[in-house]
A = this chain, B = another copy of it.
Amino acid sequence: MDEGKVRDSVIEAADALYYARGIQAVGMDALREASGVSLKRLYRLFPSKEAIVLAVLQYRHQLWTDGVTTAVDRAASPEDRLLAVYDYLADWFASDSFRGCGFINAFGELGAVSPAVAEVARLHKHSFQEYLGRLVADAGGTTELAAQLAILAEGAQTTAAISGTTEPARQARRAAEILIASIDSM
Protein backbone atom coordinates (compact mmCIF):
# COMPACT_ATOMS: atom_id res chain seq x y z
CA MET A 1 0.00 0.00 0.00
CA ASP A 2 1.00 3.61 -0.55
CA GLU A 3 3.44 4.90 2.10
CA GLY A 4 1.64 8.17 2.64
CA LYS A 5 -1.75 6.58 3.20
CA VAL A 6 -0.31 4.09 5.67
CA ARG A 7 1.41 6.91 7.48
CA ASP A 8 -1.83 8.83 7.72
CA SER A 9 -3.74 5.82 9.03
CA VAL A 10 -1.06 5.26 11.66
CA ILE A 11 -1.38 8.87 12.76
CA GLU A 12 -5.14 8.59 12.98
CA ALA A 13 -4.96 5.40 15.01
CA ALA A 14 -2.29 6.86 17.29
CA ASP A 15 -4.30 10.03 17.75
CA ALA A 16 -7.38 8.12 18.86
CA LEU A 17 -5.38 5.98 21.30
CA TYR A 18 -3.25 8.77 22.75
CA TYR A 19 -6.20 11.07 23.19
CA ALA A 20 -8.38 8.44 24.82
CA ARG A 21 -5.85 6.90 27.18
CA GLY A 22 -2.93 9.31 27.44
CA ILE A 23 0.31 9.09 25.51
CA GLN A 24 2.46 7.16 27.95
CA ALA A 25 -0.31 4.66 28.58
CA VAL A 26 -0.24 3.55 24.91
CA GLY A 27 2.69 1.35 23.94
CA MET A 28 4.00 0.72 20.47
CA ASP A 29 2.43 -2.73 20.55
CA ALA A 30 -1.02 -1.28 21.14
CA LEU A 31 -0.45 1.06 18.21
CA ARG A 32 0.65 -1.85 16.03
CA GLU A 33 -2.48 -3.78 16.90
CA ALA A 34 -4.81 -0.80 16.38
CA SER A 35 -3.25 0.33 13.12
CA GLY A 36 -2.51 -3.10 11.69
CA VAL A 37 0.97 -1.91 10.76
CA SER A 38 3.93 -4.03 11.79
CA LEU A 39 6.49 -2.65 14.23
CA LYS A 40 9.12 -2.80 11.54
CA ARG A 41 7.06 -0.66 9.23
CA LEU A 42 6.12 1.74 12.03
CA TYR A 43 9.81 2.34 12.63
CA ARG A 44 10.43 2.80 8.93
CA LEU A 45 7.68 5.43 8.82
CA PHE A 46 8.76 7.18 12.01
CA PRO A 47 12.16 7.22 13.70
CA SER A 48 10.73 7.02 17.23
CA LYS A 49 7.60 7.18 19.31
CA GLU A 50 8.22 10.85 19.99
CA ALA A 51 8.12 11.50 16.25
CA ILE A 52 4.70 9.82 16.13
CA VAL A 53 3.54 11.95 19.04
CA LEU A 54 4.63 15.11 17.26
CA ALA A 55 2.97 14.01 14.03
CA VAL A 56 -0.23 13.30 15.95
CA LEU A 57 -0.15 16.76 17.49
CA GLN A 58 0.32 18.34 14.08
CA TYR A 59 -2.62 16.31 12.78
CA ARG A 60 -4.74 17.38 15.76
CA HIS A 61 -3.75 20.99 15.18
CA GLN A 62 -5.00 20.71 11.61
CA LEU A 63 -8.26 19.10 12.73
CA TRP A 64 -8.83 21.86 15.26
CA THR A 65 -7.95 24.66 12.86
CA ASP A 66 -10.20 23.27 10.12
CA GLY A 67 -13.08 22.73 12.54
CA VAL A 68 -12.89 26.19 14.01
CA THR A 69 -12.50 28.02 10.71
CA THR A 70 -15.41 26.24 9.03
CA ALA A 71 -17.61 26.97 12.06
CA VAL A 72 -16.53 30.61 12.03
CA ASP A 73 -17.01 30.96 8.30
CA ARG A 74 -20.65 29.95 8.60
CA ALA A 75 -21.31 33.12 10.61
CA ALA A 76 -21.77 36.53 8.99
CA SER A 77 -21.21 39.42 11.38
CA PRO A 78 -17.84 39.87 13.10
CA GLU A 79 -19.49 39.35 16.49
CA ASP A 80 -21.22 36.16 15.45
CA ARG A 81 -17.97 34.88 13.98
CA LEU A 82 -16.33 35.29 17.37
CA LEU A 83 -19.17 33.55 19.16
CA ALA A 84 -19.13 30.71 16.65
CA VAL A 85 -15.92 29.56 18.33
CA TYR A 86 -17.87 28.73 21.47
CA ASP A 87 -20.61 26.97 19.53
CA TYR A 88 -17.93 24.82 18.02
CA LEU A 89 -16.66 24.07 21.51
CA ALA A 90 -20.18 23.08 22.59
CA ASP A 91 -20.43 20.60 19.75
CA TRP A 92 -17.01 19.20 20.55
CA PHE A 93 -17.71 18.85 24.26
CA ALA A 94 -20.87 16.90 23.45
CA SER A 95 -18.99 14.23 21.49
CA ASP A 96 -18.59 11.20 23.69
CA SER A 97 -14.90 10.85 22.95
CA PHE A 98 -14.22 14.32 24.34
CA ARG A 99 -11.49 14.30 26.94
CA GLY A 100 -10.20 17.87 26.97
CA CYS A 101 -7.69 19.63 24.77
CA GLY A 102 -5.12 17.18 23.48
CA PHE A 103 -2.41 19.82 23.67
CA ILE A 104 -3.10 20.70 27.28
CA ASN A 105 -3.13 17.01 28.12
CA ALA A 106 0.10 16.36 26.24
CA PHE A 107 1.71 19.40 27.83
CA GLY A 108 0.74 18.27 31.31
CA GLU A 109 1.98 14.78 30.63
CA LEU A 110 5.17 15.43 28.67
CA GLY A 111 5.79 19.18 28.63
CA ALA A 112 8.34 19.00 31.43
CA VAL A 113 10.18 16.08 29.91
CA SER A 114 9.96 16.75 26.17
CA PRO A 115 10.83 20.26 25.00
CA ALA A 116 9.48 19.38 21.55
CA VAL A 117 6.03 18.59 22.92
CA ALA A 118 6.04 21.75 25.03
CA GLU A 119 6.98 23.80 21.97
CA VAL A 120 4.26 22.28 19.77
CA ALA A 121 1.67 23.02 22.45
CA ARG A 122 2.92 26.59 22.68
CA LEU A 123 2.74 27.05 18.92
CA HIS A 124 -0.75 25.59 18.78
CA LYS A 125 -2.09 27.96 21.42
CA HIS A 126 -0.23 30.86 19.89
CA SER A 127 -1.74 30.18 16.50
CA PHE A 128 -5.24 30.10 18.01
CA GLN A 129 -4.62 33.40 19.74
CA GLU A 130 -3.42 34.95 16.51
CA TYR A 131 -6.50 33.69 14.70
CA LEU A 132 -8.74 35.11 17.42
CA GLY A 133 -6.76 38.33 17.17
CA ARG A 134 -7.74 38.69 13.52
CA LEU A 135 -11.40 37.94 14.24
CA VAL A 136 -11.40 40.43 17.11
CA ALA A 137 -9.75 43.09 14.98
CA ASP A 138 -12.54 42.66 12.43
CA ALA A 139 -15.01 43.31 15.24
CA GLY A 140 -13.12 46.43 16.33
CA GLY A 141 -11.68 44.91 19.49
CA THR A 142 -8.24 45.00 21.03
CA THR A 143 -5.50 42.42 21.38
CA GLU A 144 -6.43 42.23 25.03
CA LEU A 145 -9.97 41.15 24.16
CA ALA A 146 -8.56 38.44 21.93
CA ALA A 147 -6.43 37.16 24.78
CA GLN A 148 -9.43 37.18 27.09
CA LEU A 149 -11.59 35.29 24.63
CA ALA A 150 -8.80 32.74 24.27
CA ILE A 151 -8.60 32.35 28.04
CA LEU A 152 -12.34 31.73 28.13
CA ALA A 153 -11.99 29.04 25.46
CA GLU A 154 -9.11 27.37 27.28
CA GLY A 155 -10.92 27.45 30.58
CA ALA A 156 -14.07 26.03 29.04
CA GLN A 157 -12.09 23.12 27.62
CA THR A 158 -10.46 22.09 30.87
CA THR A 159 -13.58 22.70 32.92
CA ALA A 160 -15.69 20.64 30.55
CA ALA A 161 -13.12 17.86 30.48
CA ILE A 162 -12.74 17.55 34.23
CA SER A 163 -16.37 18.10 35.17
CA GLY A 164 -17.66 15.98 32.29
CA THR A 165 -20.30 18.52 31.31
CA THR A 166 -20.86 20.64 28.22
CA GLU A 167 -22.23 23.67 30.06
CA PRO A 168 -18.86 25.53 30.19
CA ALA A 169 -19.10 26.16 26.44
CA ARG A 170 -22.32 28.12 26.84
CA GLN A 171 -21.14 29.88 29.99
CA ALA A 172 -17.98 30.95 28.19
CA ARG A 173 -20.03 32.07 25.22
CA ARG A 174 -22.24 34.30 27.33
CA ALA A 175 -19.18 35.72 29.06
CA ALA A 176 -17.70 36.39 25.63
CA GLU A 177 -20.87 38.21 24.61
CA ILE A 178 -20.50 40.56 27.55
CA LEU A 179 -16.83 41.22 26.84
CA ILE A 180 -17.53 41.81 23.16
CA ALA A 181 -20.42 44.13 23.95
CA SER A 182 -18.11 46.18 26.15
CA ILE A 183 -16.08 47.11 23.06
CA ASP A 184 -18.58 49.83 22.30
CA SER A 185 -18.19 51.48 25.72
CA MET A 186 -14.48 51.95 25.31
- Give per-residue flags for A4-17: 1 if the beta carbon is below 8 A from chain B beta carbons, else 0: 00000000000000
B159 touching A154, Cβ below 8 Å: yes
Q: Is A87 an interface residue (CB 8 A)?
A: no
**A112/B20 contact (C-beta < 8 A), A104-B162, A107-B161, A125-B159 known:** yes
How many copies of the shown chain assemble into the complex? 2
Q: Which of A42-50, A63-71, A73-81, A163-171 has 4 or more CB atoms under 8 Å from chain B?
A: A163-171
**Distance of A158 Cα from B118 Cα, bound (Å):** 12
The secondary structure that dominates the A interface is helix
Instruction: Give the size category of A's interface with B.
Output: 35 or more
**Cross-interface CB contact of A175 among B24, B111, B148, cutoff 8 Å:** B148
A residues bordering B, Cβ < 8 Å? 20-22, 24-25, 99-101, 103-113, 118, 121-122, 125-126, 144, 147-148, 150-156, 158-159, 161-164, 167-168, 171-172, 174-175, 178-179, 182
